[in-house]
Amino acid sequence: MNALVSIIVPCYNQAHFLKDSLQSVLDQTYSNWECIVVNDGSPDNVSEVVELWRNKDLRFKYLEKKNGGLSSARNFGIEHSKGSYILPLDADDIFHNDYITRAVSELENDKSLAIVSCYSEFFIKKKENVIFQLKPIGDSCEYLLYANQLIASSLYRKQFWEEVGGYDESMKKGFEDWEFWIAITKKGWKYKIIPEFLFYYRKAKKSMLVDTVSNYDITIKEYIFKKHKECYIADFENCMTVLFYGQNTISTSQRKIKNSLEYKIAKIICKPYRIFQKLWSQK
């Protein structure tokens, strides 16, 4: 078990988090790795921070490119990688010391696996301050169609990145990893979840994930559904159940809001303004 693992770390405005992330790489019990930090046109001091780590260990490498988004940065780093296994790492997240050892072992022992992931913990500021635990399930594309069961920092065989054409660089608002996993597994390849907490996700008030879920969730899901429509057509009955359940949930929520006392009071307060606005528009 000595395959080279290429760890790809895109960085944009997160140089202040790199210390914890890169330390978690250096602390790995698995030693045959290279860690490529990609400066995605960041205005902060990424280059200075990475130089400090390069002085500690030459397995750390540094690349620069014009800003193009997360998918573009990952693809750029992978294009310059030498490993047969790829492991993405966002600049503010942290690995458990044994993560790579455990994940590589799974890929080496089961050639039907394309991807290996694990349980993860979400934390605020300090790794010990856990606010949420994620325990994904499944092993095939069917489990990924309506929810992303795999963290972005899952280990996978580089050959599949080549086969599917890399991460979709048009997906600049998020969920690019989810689409990437579907592209791989719909070909019949399996994934495996290690049932241990080996990854730590930093939860921030402002983050790409928060922005995606808040503002682009429906738009991006529509894009994924259409891009991989053959998967959803094959799962038509379940697809309709999921979509109409979501629609019913939204409708129920809207009815509750309209029937709430707060909504009725606000409607009464705003009534004079609406009358004035109507009269003004008629002038």
**Residue ranges covered by each domain of the chain:** 5-234, 237-281
188-230 pLDDT, tens digit per residue, is 999 999 999 999 999 875 555 555 555 778 899 999 999 999 9
| pLDDT tier at 243, thresholds 50, 70, 90 | confident
> How confident is the prediction for the chain on average, in pLDDT?
89
The predicted model gives 93-111 an average pLDDT of: 97
Least confident of 6-10, 20-24, 258-262: 258-262
pLDDT digits (tens, 9 = 90+) for 67-93: 999 999 999 999 999 999 999 999 999
Is residue 72 within 8 A of residue 169, CB to CB? The reply is yes
The per-residue pLDDT for 259 is 61
Q: Which CATH class is domain 5-234?
A: alpha beta
Percentage of the chain lying above the pLDDT 90 cut: 76
Res 204: pLDDT: 73
pTM of the model: 0.84
**Tokens read off for 140:** 């095939």
**Residue 273 pLDDT exceeds 90:** no
**Mean pLDDT to the nearest integer, 165-172:** 96
pLDDT of residue 85: 98
Report the pLDDT value the prediction gives residue 253, as an integer from 0 to 100.
59
The answer, yes or no, to whether residue 269 has pLDDT greater than 70, is: no
Q: What is the pLDDT of residue 108?
A: 97
Q: How far apart are CA 34 and CA 219, in angstroms?
A: 36
